[in-house]
Amino acid sequence: MESDFLEHLKRRFGHGRVWAVGPVANSGCRVGERPTAEAEELFSWLADCPERSVLYVCFESMYKPPPAQAAALGAALEASGVRFIWAVSADVAVFPDGLEERARDRGRVVRGWAPQMEILQHASVGAFVTHCGWNSTLEAVAAGVTLVAWPMKADQFIDARLVVDVHGAAVRAAEGEDAVPDSGALARVFAGAVEGAEVGGVRAKARTLAAAAAGAVEEGGSSWLDFERMVKELEAVSAP
């Protein structure tokens, strides 16, 4: 996914000691942790949803959307008609009032930490509304889901350009941590990302990137070979 930029770094540094060894994450499970009752209920609900029909929304579990932004997000999810999982900070109120109850048949709100990798890898999840932080971006790419990009700060804008403009595996939702998009327009983006025929090419490119990610970490893949080269280089420089 970053091969052109990595080659640029090698030319700029004047050597080949630039190694791409990811994606290395494989599971959202925490070591030694047993699934909570909430997680078991969530995955039981997911198991009853059609394949690729669920929109997952998460801007990291610590992010607290401003009230107007939370209201726009909640209204868009409700108006979109799509199945959804919305992961929010534990102390964030969900707007509009009563969303959780009204959308109980087609949506779930997760408060606090969410098992993101397991959610993204579930067959029922088809799209991911994300701030495009690099970890979340790689996790979504490896899972083969369509990204719905809403970058908010720092490198997230560059990451969004990479998946939207360079690779065509994502669609745009909004930009900026203070953005309050029109809920109707946002609802159409959400519905299109999951159900719209017009993003079929985007889904196909997301699956292509996922296949490339899987191949990269298999024996003989690019990440596998880069990791071996890195180890040999470290052995060479540490030898007495």
| Residue 215 is assigned to a structural domain of this protein | yes
Lowest average pLDDT, out of 71-75, 94-98, 110-114, goes to 94-98
Q: From residue 144, how far is each of 18, 128, 190, 205 by CA, in Å?
A: 26, 10, 17, 9
In a domain, 16, yes or no: no
Is residue 100 in some structural domain?
yes
For residue 146, the enclosing domain spans 37-238
Question: Helix 200-217 and helix 134-143: axis angle, to 10°?
Answer: 100
Judge whether 159 and 181 are in contact, CB under 8 Å.
no
CA distances from 235 to 19, 197, 232, 239 (A): 15, 52, 5, 6
Mark residue 179 as left, alpha or beta (left: phi above 0; alpha: psi -120 to 50; beta: remaining).
Answer: beta
- Reply yes or no on whether the pLDDT at 32 is more than 50: no
Supply the pLDDT for residue 27: 47
* Res. 31 pLDDT band, cuts 50 70 90: very low
Q: In this predicted structure, what is the pLDDT of residue 94?
A: 60
Q: Averaged over 55-61, what is the pLDDT?
A: 87
CATH code at position 86: 3.40.50.2000
Lowest mean pLDDT among 5-14, 93-102, 111-120: 93-102
Paired residues of 125 in beta bridges: 54
Q: Copy the structure tokens of residue 230.
A: 């890195």
Average pLDDT of the chain to the nearest whole number: 86
Query: What integer pLDDT is reported at residue 33 of this predicted model?
Result: 54
Q: Is residue 192 part of a domain?
A: yes
Residue 29 scores a pLDDT above 60: no
pLDDT digits (tens, 9 = 90+) for 181-204: 888 999 999 999 998 777 889 999
In a domain, 19, yes or no: no
Q: Which residue from 149, 176, 145, 144 is spatially nearest to 162, judged by alpha carbons?
A: 149
Dmax (CA) for the chain in angstroms is: 68
Q: Would 7 be classed as within a structural domain?
A: no
- pLDDT of res. 111: 82
Total of domains in the chain: 1
Q: What is the pLDDT of residue 168?
A: 92
